[in-house]
Structure 1
Amino acid sequence: METARLAQGLHEHTAGFAEAVTGADPEARVPTCPEWPLRVLVGHIGQAHRWAADVIRSGPTPVPDPFDADPGSPGGWSDWLHEGAAHLTDAVLTAAESPVWTFFGPRPATFWLRRMLHDTTVHHADAALATGTAFEVAPDLAADAISEWLEVLSDPVAPTLKPAFSVLRGTGQTLLVHPDTGSGWLVTRTPEGVRWARAADTADATLAGPVGDLLLVLTRRLPAGRITITGDRALADHWLAHTAA
């Protein structure tokens, strides 16, 4: 996905997030992030954008605690959120394709734009669910978010970052994530870890539905009942239970 589209998506979902939280109770609990009140979710988004921008400009720093973020008064949340997204896109455009630090080794600066876009998209859904507002994600962004998440899960470093991912190893079991338009994702659980490819093959278990719903089910923002699961249900349930974003 081109840098311009990633940046556009980041600003679209930052704006949607800001709109979803406008006028809401800062202490309202977020159902899909049950340990967080809304003010912490807001703080996390603005904090994460600024942290990623600093990583691009200056190198790695410890991952900040969302509870330490200060988004300011609710009346200023929208401006603060937009400012953080602007800091990030400016840092990415300045760095161009220069390698920067990531959890997975040096990558182009666009790694952080893509990671923060998809993190913001999923948290936009969190905010919408918490405040009863509308949420939409463009099919191309939803599809790229699924690909990016599978890239994370299949990286050998992933289990060292989150040990629960190690249980995704298998002996050749396959899952097909099949959107109602376009090609799907064939996931294979090998002894070495997760492998995946864009494909439309049959699999031991298939998760099918609109690509936006698939993204939100895979990240546990919607219940599995929103999509159609066929084949080995236990395999699908195990995957969903151990891949929370």
Structure 2
Amino acid sequence: MKNNISLALRVITFIFVAVALVLGGVPAIANAAVHAYPGMQISTDTSTCTAGMVGHIGSARYVVTAAHCYKPGERVYDSVGNGIGWYEAAYGNDDTVEEEGFALVRLWNNVTPTASMGKFGISSIDELPPQGAAVCKIGATSNWSCGSVTRASTSDRVMSDLEALPGDSGGVVYRGTADGQAAFVGIVLGTTVLGETVVEPAEKIQRLINSYGPTASNEFRWYVTK
């Protein structure tokens, strides 16, 4: 992994010893009554990350997470072992700011995507919160935590003092809104040598998916609550 001065990422994908036989192929259907939502744990047989946000390209529904979480073609499960889909596409590897991208989990047809996170949900997209703005995140390992934006945001990165642990990669970062809902800021990528947590902005992710995603015939769109 390259060093990018003080902003070098310590990739925080949690790798663990596989205890199940890796099966070939992708099943056509998942378990019934399964939902995909921001902040949920997403795991393969060899790694765990966190769902950042949900969106769609035409009728194809996706969970978006960090690029370095990508495991080509591998099945993806929620925290209790329900299958939700498979890793279909990715761009980048998150080693440097220029290589930051995305990974897409294609959801099985009977998995329901939702922007709800329980008592509130993602109702809008926040374009680059200012330095000092309060932000929160959900990670599969560290769960909920809040902090603030530590530097002036750019179109490439939002820097924060949010807690981030192995397994939190890809986790949703959001700001509270006046109506008690949340605005999607971006996803957790990793931490720097200075201890800051790097957030990839929502607008950048959407732009990269539209440029390098599975298809250019339909625009990628985020799911939001009504």
User: Structures share a fold, TM > 0.5?
Assistant: no
Question: Normalising by structure 1, what TM-score?
Answer: 0.27
Give the structure, 1 or 2, with the largest relative contact order (CA under 8 Å, sep 6 or more).
Answer: 2
Question: Normalising by structure 2, what TM-score?
Answer: 0.28
